[in-house]
């Protein structure tokens, strides 16, 4: 996991007052190679920001001593370009727009899946480092050319439908990390409502994709993680 | 001070009556006086006014009788109001089955008022019953995944196991959690639709485009299930609304259709102009909707007994609410027939 090792030095400031949520996030993000410090109140967050600027801020909006948006406002007033991901239980469009207007980079409505948060954190830190996304992604002997929309495995070309390609490219961009069904629903199928179940559709595409990628070979590339989602990886999790 | 309505009606009418008697007295006296002044100067005024005295005496004698009649009349007129108030009070106290008795009422405005109120009470009562059933069903449906999660967790920790076993158990619990989470999302979406603030976000979208998108998303699923998906669209129809919601409506209908269509069957989806409006339809070749369920399947958590095809029974409720938010209506076009046909009809503003 080269991605994780290069970001091991980047500290994440997590502003979240619910210890059950922050406990799991610290552990999960820690295991993914990030150094996380937690503050549970606005006051602590401000104090923490006085002493050092983190590489990324994960911000819960409903804090006991005020609205988390104040942290965001302060960062932006000071001209800090730290990426900020907002977490909140309020998910109305108005709230979302308001958060993004204040200069948030991303917005996750609770309940969110951990793989999703992890993917957002990786994406934000990548953009923060101005890293260009590669056109050609490689996972083991699988090669995905995102510009020409061509896929080869072990030198053999594989024909995919447009949606199958988008799905594979998405899995490959997150290779080595789990991808949840919510992420696929929104990012690959572009369905924003979580009230429509895309599970069966995702399953059908996944099985087609597997057949085309792994047909004849006994080496699995797409792994199903029960209760979590899927992961593209050379080795089983 | 509280005055009963029929007292007030009585007092008004009594005052009118007395005033009438007084005016009559003055008027007669004046006429008799003029008559005496101009023509009968030879008689005394008192003699000339005798008739007036007689009439007044008669009036005064009749007055109690008239007042009694007025009393009876006011009570009779005001009685229905009291009955209405009593019934409303009863319903307010939770006796939802009470209705105003209109049988003895004459066919007048008061009866019309009572009947209108009865209809409103009926509506209110059924809403209350629906709400009660809804919260009962919701808690039941939420309990099921919770029970599954709990059982899985309890069994998993009851004795030492391999890491692989723990992983499976946690995975199972997460899958149940997913189900629960999905249901909460559906309920949230329903309450968002109920809030009725979505009209501000209406933008015109192309009907054909939504149908095509929806069909495209579900095509692989149909193919996999051995179902033929036919899509027929009339191009160029613009609909004011929220495209994502319209898509969600059709997706829910398709999801439902696929669950009820056997292998080898056909699902037709499309949109066309209808009399002064537009009609979206999803027509499957499944077992169809029995007539007695044609209305109730759109209720939240409703299930047709004996046909378990998965789902909590919120998809069609969501679809119907989305149709209503757009000012249209979702209905089963062919209840009792083989192969259910759902139609979303939507009036369109006339093109100027």
**What does the pLDDT look like over A59-77, one tens digit per residue?**
988 888 888 888 888 888 8
Q: What is the largest CA-CA distance in chain B?
A: 135
A125-149: per-residue pLDDT in tens? 876 555 446 788 888 889 999 889 9
In this structure, are residues B278 and B272 in contact, taking their beta carbons and an 8 Å threshold?
yes
B318 touches chain A (CB under 8 A): yes
The angle subtended at Cα B321 by Cα B174 and Cα B239, nearest 5°, is 115
- Domain B126-195 class, CATH top level: mainly alpha
In angstroms, the first-to-last Cα distance of chain A is 13
The domain segmentation of chain B, as residue ranges, is 5-98, 126-195, 199-347
Chain centroid to CA B196: how far? 15
B189-212: per-residue pLDDT in tens? 888 887 777 888 889 999 999 999
Of B248, B255, B258, the CB nearest to A193: B248
Enter the ipTM: 0.73
B313-350: per-residue pLDDT in tens? 889 999 999 999 999 999 999 999 999 999 999 998 76
For the domain spanning A136-232, the CATH number is 1.10.10.10
CATH 3.40.50.300 at B199-347, yes or no: no
Domain with CATH 1.10.10.10 in chain A: 136-232
Indicate which of B189, B193, B221, B242 best probes the interface with A, i.e. most A CBs within 10 Å of its own CB.
B221
* Residue B267 φ/ψ, nearest 5 degrees: -120, 130
DSSP type of residue B238: E
What's residue A10's pLDDT? 56
In this structure, are residues B270 and B280 in contact, taking their beta carbons and an 8 Å threshold?
yes
CA-based nearest distance A201→chain B, Å: 6
What's residue A140's pLDDT? 86
Domain with CATH 3.40.50.2300 in chain A: 2-128
Q: What share of chain A is helix, strand, coil (3-state, %, to 5)?
A: 40, 20, 35
Q: What band does B352 get if pLDDT is binned at 50, 70 and 90?
A: very low
B133-177: per-residue pLDDT in tens? 888 888 888 888 898 899 999 999 999 999 999 999 999 999 889
Strands (E), chain B: 203-206, 228-233, 238-241, 266-274, 277-283, 329-332, 341-347
In the structure encoding, which two tokens stand for residue B89, read together?
A: 């009070």
Chain centroid to CA B59: how far? 56
* Fold equal for B126-195 and B199-347: no
Dist CA B319 CA A141 (whole Å): 45
What's residue B218's pLDDT? 94
Dihedral, B227, B287, B292, B133 alpha carbons, nearest 10? -60
What's residue B125's pLDDT? 85
What's residue B84's pLDDT? 86
A163 touches chain B (CB under 8 A): yes
What's residue B80's pLDDT? 82
Question: Residue A226: which residues within 8 A CB-CB, separation 6 or more?
Answer: B167, B168, B171, B172, B174, B175
Torsion-angle region of A227 (φ positive above 0: left; ψ -120 to 50: alpha; else: beta)? left
A196 touches chain B (CB under 8 A): yes
Q: Which of B4-13, B190-199, B259-268 has the highest mean pLDDT?
A: B259-268
**Cβ of A192 and B244 within 8 Å?**
yes
A2-128: CATH superfamily: Response regulator (3.40.50.2300)
């Amino acid at each position: 996991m080269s991605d994780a090792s290069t970001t091991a030095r980047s500290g994440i400031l997590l502003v979240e007052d619910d210890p059950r949520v922050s406990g799991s996030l610290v552990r999960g993000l820690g295991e993914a190679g990030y150094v996380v410090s937690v503050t549970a109140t606005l006051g602590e967050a401000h104090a923490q920001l006085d002493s050092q600027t983190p590489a990324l801020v994960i911000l819960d909006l409903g804090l006991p001593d005020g609205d988390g948006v104040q942290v965001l406002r302060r960062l932006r007033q000071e001209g800090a370009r730290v990426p900020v991901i907002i977490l909140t239980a309020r998910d109305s469009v108005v709230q979302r727009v308001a958060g993004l207007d204040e200069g948030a980079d991303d917005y996750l409505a609770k309940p969110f899946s951990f793989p999703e948060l992890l993917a957002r954190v990786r994406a934000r830190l990548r953009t923060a480092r101005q890293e260009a996304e590669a056109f050609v992604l490689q996972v083991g002997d699988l090669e995905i050319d995102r510009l020409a929309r061509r896929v080869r495995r072990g030198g053999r070309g594989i024909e995919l439908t447009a949606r199958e390609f988008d799905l594979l490219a998405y899995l490959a961009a997150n290779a080595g990390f789990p991808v949840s069904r919510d992420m696929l629903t929104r990012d690959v199928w572009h369905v924003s409502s979580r009230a429509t179940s895309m599970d069966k559709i995702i399953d059908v595409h996944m099985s087609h994709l597997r057949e085309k990628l792994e047909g004849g070979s006994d080496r699995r590339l797409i792994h199903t993680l029960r209760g979590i989602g899927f992961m593209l990886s050379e080795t089983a999790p | 001070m509280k005055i009963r309505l029929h007292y007030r009606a009585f007092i008004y009418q009594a005052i009118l009556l007395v005033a009438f008697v007084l005016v009559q007295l003055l008027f007669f006296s004046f006429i008799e006086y003029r008559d005496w002044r101009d023509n009968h100067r030879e008689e005394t005024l008192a003699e000339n006014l005798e008739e007036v005295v007689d009439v007044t005496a008669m009036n005064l004698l009749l007055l109690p009788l008239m007042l009694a009649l007025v009393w009876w009349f006011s009570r009779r007129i005001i009685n229905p109001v009291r009955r209405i108030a009593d019934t409303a009070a009863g319903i307010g106290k939770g006796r939802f089955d009470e209705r105003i008795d209109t049988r003895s009422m004459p066919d007048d405005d008061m009866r019309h008022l009572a009947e209108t109120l009865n209809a409103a009470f009926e509506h209110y009562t059924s809403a209350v019953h629906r709400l009660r059933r809804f919260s009962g069903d919701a808690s039941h449906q939420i309990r099921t995944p919770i029970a599954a999660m709990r059982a899985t967790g309890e069994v998993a920790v009851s004795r030492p196991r391999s890491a692989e076993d723990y992983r499976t158990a946690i995975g199972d619990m997460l899958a149940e959690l997913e189900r629960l989470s999905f249901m909460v999302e559906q309920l949230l979406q329903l309450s968002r639709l109920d809030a009725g603030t979505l009209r501000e976000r209406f933008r015109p979208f192309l009907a054909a485009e939504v149908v095509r998108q929806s069909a495209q998303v579900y095509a692989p699923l149909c193919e996999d299930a051995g179902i033929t998906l036919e899509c027929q669209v009339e191009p160029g129809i613009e609909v004011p609304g929220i495209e994502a919601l319209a898509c969600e409506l059709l997706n829910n209908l398709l999801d439902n259709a696929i669950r009820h269509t056997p292998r080898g069957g056909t699902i037709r989806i499309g949109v066309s102009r209808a009399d002064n409006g537009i009609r979206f339809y999803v027509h499957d070749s499944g077992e169809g909707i029995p007539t007695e369920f044609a209305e109730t399947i759109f209720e939240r958590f409703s299930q047709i007994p004996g046909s378990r095809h998965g789902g909590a029974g919120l998809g069609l409720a969501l679809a119907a609410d989305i149709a209503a938010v757009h000012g249209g209506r979702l209905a089963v076009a062919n209840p009792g027939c083989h192969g259910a046909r759902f139609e979303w009809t939507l009036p369109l503003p006339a093109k100027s």
